[in-house]
Structure 1
């Protein structure tokens, strides 16, 4: 039996600001933006190449108000990811070198944190 994670909720205080950050600033695909009523709105965004999306909105009751997530995604090249984010005006830290990978970190306007991990190349290890 397969268990595929395909949707991770994020808590945001301003849905339009979050949609602009992920869709326009970070450059991810905005899959859905549905307003069902004044109390219910659902936005789904997917990073390029990912089988897992993020969602946020109003009235979803997926996360406690004021909470935040830490999400990690894998990238082929941490230096390229850093350059892309910085080129888009995203505030992020330089590449963090660890034995288990190379990481780039950034946050959205609501404090949801992201780690982009370049996996270690085990073929270079002796």
Structure 2
């Protein structure tokens, strides 16, 4: 697609303040824009995450998954665990994965390629 300028993943959330605290404070990603409690944009490397309140009852863990590639896997997990994030670890040949959830049970994971 020649005209593609940006891409984002929209995450349906139930509480804007709680979601921003998770993505900005706990994960250390940059809050780029916030439009009150209507919408916010979080910048991750090569990915823009849109936080969008649901208009109805939120469906917990709606099969959305955001992957964040990291360089120092063990140190990153240790840092995030100190902030209360719990992980489920998996090693699959050439990649190490650490699955976790945001406050609305949306799925995220850390990944480190083994060279």
Is the structural similarity TM-score above 0.5? yes
Residue ranges of structure 2 left out of the alignment (5+ in a row): none
Please give the root-mean-square deviation of Cα atoms over the aligned residues, in Å: 2.4
Determine which structure has the larger strand proportion and give its number: 2
2:106 corresponds, among 92, 95, 112, to 112
Q: How far 1:5 moved relative to its partner? A: 6.1
Q: Does 2:37 match 1:43?
A: no
How many angstroms does 1:10 deviate by? 0.6
Tell me by how many angstroms 1:97 deviates.
Answer: 1.6
* 1:10 alignment partner, SS class: strand
Please identify the structure whose Cα radius of gyration is greater: 1
Which consecutive residues of structure 1, in runs of 5 or more, have no partner in the other structure?
A: 122-126
For 1:89, the equivalent position in structure 2 comes to: 84
Alignment counterpart, residue 69 of structure 2, candidates 51, 71, 74: 74
What TM-score comes out, normalization by structure 2 length?
0.80
Which residue in the other structure is 2:20 paired with? Answer: 19
Q: What is the aligned residue count? A: 111
Residues 115 and 17 of structure 1: is their aligned pair in 2 closer, same or farther, counting only changes over 3 Å?
same
Q: Name the TM-score, length of structure 1 as normaliser.
A: 0.74
Which of 96, 111, 115 is equivalent to 1:102? 96
Partner of 1:10: 11
